[in-house]
Structure 1
Amino acid sequence: PSSMVDRSDCAACDFNQDSNQCKRDMEWKWRGDYTPATKSDYVGVKTQLMYENKPKNDEKSFTEMTTTEQEAAVKVRLKMYAQKVYRKTKLTETTMRENTVCMRENPFYVDTVRAFRDRRYDFKKLTKKWSKEKKRAEKSNELVTAKQAADKEILFDSLQLAHKCILNSFYGYVMRKGAR
């Protein structure tokens, strides 16, 4: 994530001073899945695919495939090989790691909340507009127009209310000074 930084990131930052206390060390668990096959197994499988004769139907030979197709073919074959030899297709390893988290404001969150807030204001304006349109249509006895305007008013009022609920759940967290 962009909040994980190293020394070079901090050295380039304008706020890189001890008094700012903008760095926090965080321990986290890294989980990685990898194949039990070794590099020699990989080379063997790839060599086998290179020299394998393909039937004369639409299939391409390994050397005629694009790089991504070759990678996919090796991956499938290596998975089958690992299943036969090692009785497993993947090994999972979990290790504790420690990284520095930058506590300065990340503009993505703030910009997203502001855009959400602005969209809510747009929906509020549209709600008022369609409410006035509904009243105008009711005065002039245009029932179809009044019904359409009422539907639009309800739609935009629901949208602005939904945006309000979502905003309330995020606003205090994101807009607080020093929040990530």
Structure 2
Amino acid sequence: LLDKCFYKIFVFEHYREKSVFFPRVICVKQDKTLEPVVRVEVESQLDDFIKRPLRLENPKIYHLDVGAMYPNIILTNRLQPPAVVTNEDCIACIYNTPDAKCRRTMQWEWRGQIMPASRAEYERILQQLENEKFGKPPRPFHSLDRELRAQTEKKRRENAFYVDTVKAFRDRRYEYKALLKASTVLCFPNFEEKVALEI
């Protein structure tokens, strides 16, 4: 149940008389000709709140966390314990260069459970490999040479798609952070002064 009095006060004292900022905030990055259209839409929704305070539809709740830090953590490879290898593996790696950023000394606490495969499971996996065909022309796994086997097996390196997705999320977060700052300045011109006075 919505408070009708609150919406009436908001609509008549703040929104219509003082020409408050919702359409302007929405149109910050858009065509200014949309402002009257958005204004009418916002006013109709506010009027609908006053006429029907008992709402039956499910609300849409949006949470924009512009201060999330986990994309940066992921991009620094700090959440990839499977990528930890021995010095011998690093020496043999084709990406091993003096300026390589993949080598980090971290303390990991193992929280997994070791469940070794039984003899039957091991034989079933071997049988599955024998039945599958790889390469062109298709051949069984045991007849492949070492290079093709290495290409078939999953490499323990970062997934480029995953990292690219996280980078895109990070960049969009910065974009939304800038939009939020611009909207705050438009909506609350004295916001920073009030915060400074409260502190």
TM-score range, shorter chain: under 0.3
Higher fraction of helix: 1
Higher fraction of strand: 1
Q: TM-score, normalised by structure 2?
A: 0.25
